[in-house]
Structure 1
Amino acid sequence: MLRQLREEIITGLLKPGALIKDAEIAARLGVSITPVREAITQLAAEGLIDISPNRTRQVTQVTQKSALELIDVMMVLACAGFEWGVDNITDEHLAALRVKLDEFADGLRQGNATVAAAAGADFSTVVILASGNRELQTHVDLVVTRTLRVLALTAESDVWKVWLEGYRETLQLLERGDRQGAVERYRQIYRDYRRRVAALLFDGDR
């Protein structure tokens, strides 16, 4: 229930500003109102749904400012985790990174942005978890979810190239043993990503 609603918001099936009505969602998904309300509460905590003082609920509006702020936060958290974890990378971690990179590329080739996004997030997770800081990973996961919602990118978007090329080059550096170079290349992904997003137009800014 929660996962389905989150997916509908992230993919843009539920548009920014769309009203969220418990009874309508419950009827559409064939569930009772209680799990719908619980899901809405959780999604509000994640920043995906806004609840007004009069209790009206709607999908959070998107602005360029909010997108860039999320990217800035994601960059600080993810890059810190990557830097902390990179010295603990083993051959098993490298193999896992290769698998996630392949899944990411396959998802894009198949036109499945959801699969690609999940694999891309998992690529970073492999290194961040190597740091041993699971609390940090929890916060990264939350920000990544909100960022995906803000952008709602299709598989055809050229923004994905920033991540695909960045991950490939980062992994190559790790496989060569250049860990500091890998950290800097990983950090560059976010700088390039931010520049691309800054050039996009958002309905909330017009």
Structure 2
Amino acid sequence: MPIPQGETSPPRDLLRDHVFRRLRDAIVDGTLEPGEQLRDGELAGWLGVSRTPVREALLRLGQAGLVVAAPGRSTTVSTLDVRATRNAQSVVAAMHRLAVREAVSQMTEEDFARMRSANERFDAALRRGDVDAALAADDELHAVTVEAAGNDAVKTVLEQFTPVLRRVERLRFSSVTGRGSVALHRKLIDLCAAGDAEAAADVSFDTWQTLEPLLEMSGTEQSGEAG
């Protein structure tokens, strides 16, 4: 595996999460490709850490469905599993609906301003074709309601399953279909600001359902390959 250069080790107390996020992001953005073999020694050298946090991260990534570990054999980056992605989509959509429902009564004008700013950056990133920036802005926008809800269980579930969807969202945000999310975001923000928790929760749920066409397309492609 080609190992990128220039990584430095973070403070020890942040090491475990840092390693997990670096590997997770490398899988989501395609740096580590589906089917690629992951050797903990190489990964440790890349990140400038010991093998222990790498092994812990690979276990967490396995639980999220991003890597596959065969007993007594190597760990590899998983291919896109449509069924697993659909399952993740259902869970993530439900968790965001719950977060918004719980968050609206707690939100402030500053929260709404943060969401509008994130959506503007999301829109601009889509227009210039910057998928990484679009994903970052989308994450920031939805994080506002998750933080306002203050539900740690929701945060934990989203941290595990959202990365599975991000692999599909990279396809959506690199195409014109991603533009529809800008309008949905605006509607979500307006409903949150109006204090309509139920309607806002429904719109939040709908934003995650926009992945369905890509999942259907992926399922069709996999069926064709199998045939």
TM-score, normalisation: structure 2: 0.76
Equivalent residue runs for 1:60-139 within 5 Å: 60-139=78-157
Structure 1 20/174 Cα, relative in aligned 2: closer, same or farther at 3 Å? Answer: same
Q: Report the residue type matching 1:119 in the other structure.
A: A
Residue 140 (structure 1) aligned with residue 161 (structure 2): no
TM-score (norm 1): 0.83
Paired AA for residue 21 in structure 1: R
Task: Could you tell me which runs of 5 or more consecutive residues in structure 1 were left unpaired when the two chains were aligned.
Answer: none
Counterpart of 1:196 in structure 2 is 213
The Cα RMSD (Å) is 2.6
Kept in 2, the 8 Å contact 1:125–1:137? The answer is no
Q: Gaps (5+ residues) in structure 2?
A: 1-18
Given that 2:105 and 2:197 are in contact with CA atoms closer than 8 Å, whether structure 1 keeps it comes out as: yes
How much identity, in percent, do the aligned residues show? 24
Relative distance call for 1:167 and 1:95 in structure 2 (3 A) is same
1-structure distance, mates of 2:139, 2:24: 16
Q: Name the CA shift for 1:165/1:31 in 2 (closer, same or farther; >3 Å).
A: same
Matching residue's letter, 1:153: L
Query: For 2:47 and 2:114, how far apart are their aligned partners in 1?
Result: 38
Query: Retained in 2: the 8 A contact 1:82–1:124?
Result: no
Number of residue pairs matched?
Answer: 204
In structure 2, the residue matched to 1:56 is 74
**1:158-181 CA distances to partner (integer Å, 9 max, x unpaired)?**
342242221122223334454443
1:54 and 1:150 map into 2 onto residues whose CA distance is: 30
Give the C-alpha shift of residue 154 in structure 1. 6.6
Say if 1:88 and 1:98 are closer, same or farther in 2 by CA, change over 3 A: same
